[in-house]
Structure 1
Amino acid sequence: MTEGVDRLTTGLIHHPYTAPAEFDALPPGVFKASSVFFPSVAALRERRWDDKSGYTYGLHGTPTTFTLEARLATLEGANHVLLAPSGLSAITLVDMALLSAGDEVLLPDNVYGPSRSFATHELKQWGIACRLYDPMEPASLFAALTPQTKLVWLEAPGSVTLEFPDLRALVREARAQAPQAVVALDNTWGAGIAFNAFDLGDGLAVDVTVHALTKYPSGGADVLMGSVACRDDALYRRLAWCHSRLGLGVGANDVEALLRGLPSLALRYAAQDAAGRRIAAWCQRRAEFVRVLHPALPDSPGHAHWAELCSAAAGLVTVEFDPQFSAAQVDAFVDALRLFRIGWSWGGPVSLAVPYQSKAMRALATPYRGTLVRLCIGLEAVEDLVGDLGQALAVVQGTIS
């Protein structure tokens, strides 16, 4: 009996049946593998993964991941894409692939907080210096560039405060003063839709973009993933080999979810863009807010740069409360929201709200005096979201004696 079971097991594992190849449907196949089989030892030794001409090991790619990478390259206007477990891991991959002891990296002062934290902790421990510049003043970048600068990070717009920099001027400064530096952009807000980072006009372009696919490409608030995109072949190889040595990989089911979300990306982005503009306009009419930050608003910092470059804007709005409202009162406003949930991230169907203290986020001078609240607009009806904001403001007004 045991021998029969053993042979049955072997037969099930090494079953000769192969499904016919003519199956065709919209969803790509989901391939899960660690080991990849080779027809011969010669094939094992000759097959390459770095140019995506073949498969060597699950961590180096499957038909499923290669498909997503190709579609994201089209979205970003790039030639090459690598997938990472999160947006932050995509950022740290670029840092580790391109920097070594004695180098310097430049970050905008309004950069995504975890990116700055990685630079001021891990990179510093590895002998890599970090310098900050004011992204709204190209002269500030000029002053920060040195012969040791090997990587310049851009962010458009800035994290939380949403200032939109003059990307062309910043790239032009970096190219002229530090030709040895790679210029990288966190393009999560633009999502490959608002503008093409690899064609900024006037012959200018960034070298690398990173994208938190967790946000708009997923759209479901249920996937963690990031991407790194570039056009240059040699730069791609530097990134790809570091990616391989770090053992970065993503799950096939998460890739499947991204592939399912991509066809509706432009529609969702447009809907959240439109809703964000309406809510920003409503917030401008409220006396509780002394400033409303949204690149499409004429008085938002960097609006002219946004208008010159972009065709759309993401569904993010940041409001600055009048300084008469204490941080505790602003927290009470956020707590009173019913449809807006309290949580990090954005790009999903549910609207989110988070309070921030600008002084804790910045090293350079900041114009913001009141507490900030970032609103991430989901897919709810705008009228319902406006009503929610109104009732939460009424709660706060009731606390003023």
Structure 2
Amino acid sequence: MRNDDRPRNYRQDTLLTHVGRNPEANHGVVNPPVYHASTILSKNMAEWEAKRAAPPFSGVRYGLHGTPGTFALEELLAKIEGGYRTMLVSSGLAAVTAPLQALLGAGDHCLMVDSAYGPARNFCDGILKRCGVETTYYDPLIGEGIEKLFRPNTKVLYCESPGSLTFEVQDIPAMAAIAHKYGAKVLMDNTWGTPYLFRSFEHGVDISIHAATKYICGHSDAMLGAIIMNEETFLPVRSAMAQIGHSAAPDDVFFALRGMRTLSVRLERHQKNAMEVARWLQARPEVSRVLYPALPQDPGHQIWKRDFLGACGLFGFVLNPVSKEALHAFIDSLDLFGIGASWGGFESLIQPAAPPRTAQRWQAEGPLVRVHIGLEDPQDLIADLARGLEHLKLREAAQ
């Protein structure tokens, strides 16, 4: 967008297309180029000293702290989600652990949602525990009941909505208000919602965490994390991460910046396909229930409808009780669904899931399966799943 006095109250899709681009500074090139850089030269000592005297993290000084490509993506992400500034790191897991490291120390207490991404739990139970930080896991549906778990030393309320694997929708505004009453910061893994579908800062979140590897990059070929912060948390977290040495690879930054330009149209197709497949699964006798907040029958649908602007293509479903062999026969027989971790790319994926829980026991009628619905024709995906369920029944009957 040109630097003039034209009105700038553009809508989200327009911002996705234009923010973070400056063709005039790049010989008319539409996309910001990839900057591979470590050393950044100064013209003279006056410029050297001016850079050192400038506010922290305000310009291109050293490759570790960002290049023009880094800052372009960081600007775009913050603008779309409504945050103050962004920091990019090497992976989604780094985006989870970095703000926890920055905000928690010996003697502090963290409230972590029981449905969180598994490696987030591992970090709390491992490194944070060794550093003297105590973690309490809470029921994702606790809502305003979270207040009884706060202590004088509680510094962080960590949320993930919908929950990893089991897709519970949390009442973020209510919980954030309570956390702020006790002086705690609210961190949320917003990878499912993306900056486009859940504007977390409007709901009381202080730090929004993204595995940009997924929908932001969107093509299963890059590793990246993003931490979007409000003004109060930016400098403490960004300074701590500079001391630790976090950064992001320039090629992955380029892939993410390019992926953001098509984020809205991809998400629209992912949701359309996922709804079609989810409704079909609901009607299958082999399926006990479908875990997808966009479905009207989902327990979290009303909060999802209130707070979110849409849904992505990731959901789960619970089968009726079957043997492990039958479950494997179902998955192994699929042609279009890859068996693999991660999600958010153009392709459909499937994996069995075993949610780790400590606040309460995960109760399900049968095996839990997580699927990512890609950009294929949904009728082909449905036909593939139908064939798979036939294999499941045949294998179960042979037991």
With the length of structure 2 as denominator, give the TM-score of the two structures. Answer: 0.90
Matched residue, 1:9 = none
Query: Following the alignment from structure 1 to structure 2, what is the Cα–Cα distance between the partners of residues 220 and 22?
Result: 26
Query: Following the alignment from structure 2 to structure 1, what is the Cα–Cα distance between the partners of residues 122 and 26?
Result: 50
Matched residue, 2:128 = 123
Deviation at 1:25, TM superposition (A): 2.4
Q: What are the within-5 Å matches in structure 2 for residues 1-400 of structure 1?
A: 23-48=27-52, 51-176=56-181, 178=182, 180-200=183-203, 205-232=204-231, 234-323=232-321, 325-358=322-355, 360-400=356-396
- Aligned CA-pair RMSD: 1.6
Deviation at 1:361, TM superposition (A): 4.5
Query: Following the alignment from structure 1 to structure 2, what is the Cα–Cα distance between the partners of residues 141 and 326?
Result: 37
Query: Following the alignment from structure 2 to structure 1, what is the Cα–Cα distance between the partners of residues 97 and 201?
Result: 21
Counterpart residue type for residue 79 of structure 2: T
Which shifted more, 282-291 or 299-308? Answer: 299-308
Change (3 A) 1:116 1:164: same
Counterpart residue type for residue 38 of structure 2: S
Counterpart residue type for residue 80 of structure 1: R
Deviation at 1:21, TM superposition (A): 6.1
Q: Matched residue of 2:350: which SS?
A: strand
Which segments of 5 or more consecutive residues in structure 1 lack a partner in the other structure? 1-19
Which shifted more, 208-217 or 139-148? Answer: 139-148
Which shifted more, 362-371 or 108-117? Answer: 362-371
Q: Matched residue of 2:262: which SS?
A: helix
Deviation at 1:144, TM superposition (A): 1.6
Deviation at 1:42, TM superposition (A): 4.0
Deviation at 1:22, TM superposition (A): 7.0
Query: Following the alignment from structure 2 to structure 1, what is the Cα–Cα distance between the partners of residues 362 and 319?
Result: 15
Which segments of 5 or more consecutive residues in structure 2 lack a partner in the other structure? 1-23
Counterpart residue type for residue 385 of structure 1: L
Deviation at 1:135, TM superposition (A): 1.7
Matched residue, 1:5 = none
Deviation at 1:328, TM superposition (A): 2.9
Change (3 A) 1:399 1:50: farther
Deviation at 1:23, TM superposition (A): 1.3
- Matched-pair contact (CA < 8 Å) for 1:152–1:181: yes
Query: Following the alignment from structure 2 to structure 1, what is the Cα–Cα distance between the partners of residues 285 and 196?
Result: 33
Query: Following the alignment from structure 1 to structure 2, what is the Cα–Cα distance between the partners of residues 40 and 240?
Result: 28
Deviation at 1:301, TM superposition (A): 2.5
Q: Matched residue of 1:338: which SS?
A: coil
Query: Following the alignment from structure 1 to structure 2, what is the Cα–Cα distance between the partners of residues 369 and 103?
Result: 38
Change (3 A) 1:21 1:238: closer
What whole-Å deviation, never above 9, does each CA across 1:284-329 have from its counterpart, x for those lacking one?
0001111100001122231111111122011112010112x02332
Q: Matched residue of 2:179: which SS?
A: helix
Name which one, 1 or 2, has greater alpha-carbon Rg.
1
- Matched-pair contact (CA < 8 Å) for 1:50–1:240: no
Which shifted more, 36-45 or 278-287? Answer: 36-45
Query: Following the alignment from structure 1 to structure 2, what is the Cα–Cα distance between the partners of residues 357 and 222?
Result: 26
Query: Following the alignment from structure 1 to structure 2, what is the Cα–Cα distance between the partners of residues 98 and 328?
Result: 45
Q: Matched residue of 2:188: which SS?
A: strand
